[in-house]
Structure formats: C-alpha cells, structure tokens
C-alpha cells in the first residue's frame, strides 16, 4: 500500500497526550505503521555514560518516540487543513490527494 504519510509532511496529532499538536514528520517506520513527529511524544531516557563507543555522555536525554500513524492526520500542503488522504493516478504516477480541496501532491 502506498504511504499516506511521508517524511517532511506536516501532521496534526488527533489522539493521545499530544492531541492538537502539529509537527513535521521526521521518520516513518513503515513496518510498524508508526511515525516520529518533531516535538510530539517526547520521552525521557536516563542514560548511563559510556566510556567507549560513540562517546555518550550520561544524564537524562529527551527524544521523540514513535506514535501510531492512525493517531495523526496529514495537513494538506495546499489548503493547510487536516485531511484524509486519497490516491489518484495521474500520468502513470500515483499521487496523494487531499479529500478536502482535491489538490494532488507526491
């Protein structure tokens, strides 16, 4: 199935603690149907310093944890509204389509 949500999309979070937040999609985990959204679902991890390897420092680090793709809605790049995504084939290419304004985009 083609991806409704892609990296660099703007999305609206519609469920969970961060409901109402918007952000850019940083990563898509296709196998798990999850996405990582900038500034959304921040979790803290207590990290031990590691003398070897990548020179990790200890302390509390914060990072975005993945959220399920069904908990976000694409914000249409054309009309700027949260929308469901459809697909249309144009000139042999499968494009995404905003269900609200019918605009198509990659």
Q: Residue 98, interface with Zn ion (CB under 5 A)?
A: yes
Site for Zn ion in 2-21 (CB under 5 A): none
Q: Residue 35, interface with Zn ion (CB under 5 A)?
A: no
Phi and psi torsions of 94, nearest 5°: -90, 115
The pattern of x and - marking residues 64 through 93 that bind Zn ion according to CB under 5 A reads: ------------x-xx--------------
Give the C-alpha separation, 46 to 60, whole Å.
5
Q: Are 100 and 79 in contact (CB under 8 A)?
A: yes
List residues binding Zn ion (CB under 5 A). Answer: 76, 78-79, 98, 100-101, 103
């Amino acid at each position: 199935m083609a991806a409704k949500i892609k990296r660099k999309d703007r999305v609206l979070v519609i469920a969970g603690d961060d409901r109402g937040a918007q952000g850019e999609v940083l990563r898509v985990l296709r196998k798990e149907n999850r996405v990582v959204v900038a500034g959304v679902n921040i979790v803290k991890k207590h990290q031990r310093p590691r003398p070897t390897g990548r020179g990790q420092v200890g302390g509390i680090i914060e990072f975005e944890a993945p959220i399920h793709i069904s908990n976000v809605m694409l914000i249409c790049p054309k009309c700027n509204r949260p929308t469901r995504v459809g697909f249309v084939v144009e000139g042999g290419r499968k494009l995404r389509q905003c269900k609200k304004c019918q605009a198509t985009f990659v």
